[in-house]
Structure formats: C-alpha cells, structure tokens
Amino acid sequence: MPRSVGLALAVLASLGLLPFACAYRARYTPGPQPRVHLVLDMDNQPRFEAQQANPLFADGRAMRPWPEGTVPRGRLAGDERVFRGRDGGGWVETIPIPVDESLMRRGRERYEIFCSPCHGLAGHGDGIVARRAERLQEGSWVPPASFHQDLVRARPDGHLFNAITNGIRTMPAYGSQIPERDRWAIVAYVRALQRSQRASLEDVPAELRAKIR
C-alpha cells in the first residue's frame, strides 16, 4: 500500500473518531451549559428558578403562594403567644417559653448560622455580608439594623419573633426554616447580646465583683 494512502486512511479514521470525542467531552465535562442528552429522561427536565417569571399565571410569578388557610403538615398552631408572638391585639412583652441555659445555647448556635452573616456576631449590623455589600457600593443595599439601637432594644420580644418569622424591611422571612422554639431561642440570645453591651457591675455575681474592681 502506498504510504500516502495509509496516511490518508489514518487521517480519515482520526476524523471519524472526532464526533465521538466531542460528544464524550460535552457529556462528562463540567460547564455552565447542561450536558448533552440524547434521551431527555427525568434527570433533565425544564424548570423555573426561584423568583423567575412565568407568563402562564396572571401574576407572572413562577413561585406560587400557599393556598389560604393551609397549615403545616403534622400539627396545628396552638397558643398564639408561642406560635405568633401576639397576645390579643399586641405583641407579647416577654418570651412565652421557659428560658434556660439549654435554650440560650441553642439560640447562640442558630443566631450564628442564620443572623450573624448580616447582623454580626455581637449584633452591631457588621456581619461579613454587610461588610461585603458596603465595599461593593451598588446603591441598593439596606444596612442591617444594630440590635443595640434604643429603637430595637425597646421592641417587645414578640416583635422580634415576628421579624424572624415574617421578615422586616429587606430582611427575608425565616419562618419556614427555623422552628418556633428556635426562633424564641434566637430572641433570648439577642436579648443577652443587648444586655452584654450595657452591662453594669450589678450584673456580675457578687462573689466575682471584687476581681473586677
């Protein structure tokens, strides 16, 4: 066989493998576009992202609101002081469940997970997300409130519970992510943070005051 014919056959054979190599690369290499699917089975279905528009519905939203009157599966809301933070027409002034060391520890843990990214570990509104947003200077960021402002300190415990549950200003609602008891635990820990920033000598146990002096 002439050498040129053999070389031509080798080139043709290499070109014949090229479509398979491209298909393999598209199927198994990570990238911003979906992988090539010859069969559109159930692992690659059309869907809407969160907050995306959908012209199918009259309000144009893909995310559908809960039907009115629905309740969480497995339980019904009981005492509105515990489940809503309300007492008749107003907010409850104090936490309506027992506050002990276990609840405070739980509150600190949940606070550091859900709240500290914006409000900061000490509650001054200087969390890592807030600092990042201030550096970007995009103009649409609303700084998180400091828990040590007189306005926030004066709010009833039920008001803070409701802010966690349903959101306030640009803060989103966390009611679907944090159970009621954990929300009250966060409120208890926020109160502890507030007290820590305005502590007096009388807050220290008597047997330890001499060491501070």
Question: What pLDDT does 185 receive?
Answer: 96
Question: What pLDDT does 113 receive?
Answer: 95
Question: What pLDDT does 54 receive?
Answer: 92
Question: What pLDDT does 213 receive?
Answer: 62
Rounded distance between C-alpha atoms, residue 148 and residue 64, angstroms: 37
Tokens (6 digits) for 8: 């031509």
Tokens (6 digits) for 126: 């200087």
Predicted TM-score (pTM) of this structure: 0.63
Question: What pLDDT does 171 receive?
Answer: 87
Question: What pLDDT does 36 receive?
Answer: 66
Please name the residue that has the structure tokens 């970007």.
136
Number of H helices and number of E strands within the chain? Answer: 9, 2
Question: What pLDDT does 177 receive?
Answer: 92
Question: What pLDDT does 25 receive?
Answer: 78
Mean pLDDT split into 10-residue runs, the chain, 213 residues: 74 82 78 70 77 91 84 66 87 93 96 94 91 82 88 93 90 90 96 88 79 71
Residue type, 192: A
Per DSSP, what are the bridge partners of residue 168? 171
φ and ψ at residue 151, rounded to 5 degrees = -60, -45
